[in-house]
Structure 1
């Protein structure tokens, strides 16, 4: 999976998605996805980036805890052979859950 293929994969999840954030006035109601590449996790050899790899965050936002939507997202990640770490937080100011899937591409 490459960065260029990520939007194609996200479409299979049947949820609205945006890179990094939704522009002001374009926000959608939950559930929705946001994705970003917050840093690189490159492997160095002989003083150069021998193997380049980006950390990929996929954030699922819902207004209620929804295991079925999480399962749908995870099924697509599994289909594309992603190994991911999963965490969850309640954002009280937004009254939404954020489920974070962290992986490398």
Structure 2
């Protein structure tokens, strides 16, 4: 099971696509993956933080609908017991699909 951003990054890289936190410093040819922390939630007790849950978006960018790449990410998330929400849009100005898998790391 994955508990940290470093473990998430390593796992995403194992899927065979370029991966970066937030963005790449140079243009990439799709498909590629970016991931970033959206926010976090803390569990507190006795006036201290006991645990933290980090909400992360994993963004897959493709030129066409790419079920193979999407299914690789879904299988990776399943294998690591991570529950996800999914959203997809077409970014017309970039000519790419953006598929977002929202997860939580605890």
Residue 7 of structure 1: aligned partner: 9
CA contact (8 A) 1:56 1:102 kept: yes
Residue 73 of structure 1: aligned partner: 73
RMSD of Structure 2 on Structure 1 (CA): 1.2
Deviation at 1:4, TM superposition (A): 2.1
Unaligned runs of 5+ in 1: none
| Mapped partners of 2:80, 2:94: distance in 1 | 31
| Mapped partners of 2:28, 2:51: distance in 1 | 37
Residue 30 of structure 1: aligned partner: 30
Q: TM-score, normalised by structure 1?
A: 0.90
CA contact (8 A) 1:64 1:96 kept: yes
Deviation at 1:33, TM superposition (A): 0.2
**Matched positions, count:** 103
Unaligned runs of 5+ in 2: none
Q: TM-score, normalised by structure 2?
A: 0.89
Residue 21 of structure 1: aligned partner: 23
Deviation at 1:48, TM superposition (A): 3.2
Query: Which SS does the other structure have where 1:97 is aligned?
Result: strand
